[in-house]
Amino acid sequence: MKFAKEMAFYSAYHQEKRNVWIHVLGVPTITFTLFLVLNRLELVNVLGYTVTAATVFGIVVLAYYFTLDFIFAAATTVVFGSLMFLAQYITLSLTATTAWSIFAVAQLIGWGAQFYGHFIFEKSRPALFDNLFQAVVSAPIFVIADVFFELGLRKDVQEAVRKELAAQGKLKDFSTAH
């Protein structure tokens, strides 16, 4: 299962529940503000619709997600597509300085919280240091998967990820964590 193998890399760094929930909040924050500034980069106008760097980035990333898992990709499309359109709407009413200021503050908070989660709760360094693509591009679909798992959905995929982690010797036990 391709998705389980891909997510196992991410999950090796995200097994402690508090750290996972920090990422469930932090990743969308980072993604939203990335869309916010990428919407300022207009590439072309097609039939009255301005195609921005955010649009191209979003389409390319979502296409990649659909190669991994249709259900998670569809859910990610709804969540992150909504963030992209909200960012596009907000971009139209913000000055460049305001947009960049929001980007900077939210990026610091989003990344800072995630680093905190890794060093304090996970007791390990972030995946960002070992695979930038996974940390920036793949993280959104994986946090969607984490929410599914917490809701008791897609247990077969969750178990496949757990087995992959165990096979790689990267499965951690946080059952005694407070």
- The DSSP secondary structure of 55-72, one letter per residue, reads HHHHHHHHHHHHHH-HHH
Distances (CA, A) of 178 to 16, 17, 122, 127: 10, 10, 12, 23
- The DSSP secondary structure of 128-140, one letter per residue, reads GGT-HHIIIIIHH
Supply φ then ψ for residue 175, to 5 degrees: -65, -20
Q: Domain residues of the chain, as ranges?
A: 2-168
Q: State how far the Cα of 178 lies from the Cα of 175, in Å rounded to an integer.
A: 8
pTM of the model: 0.90
pLDDT given for residue 168 in this prediction: 94
pLDDT given for residue 64 in this prediction: 96
pLDDT in tens, the chain (178 residues): 899 999 999 999 999 999 999 999 999 999 999 999 999 999 999 999 899 999 999 999 999 999 999 999 999 999 989 999 999 988 888 898 998 899 999 999 999 999 999 999 999 888 888 888 887 899 999 999 999 999 999 999 999 999 999 999 999 988 765 5
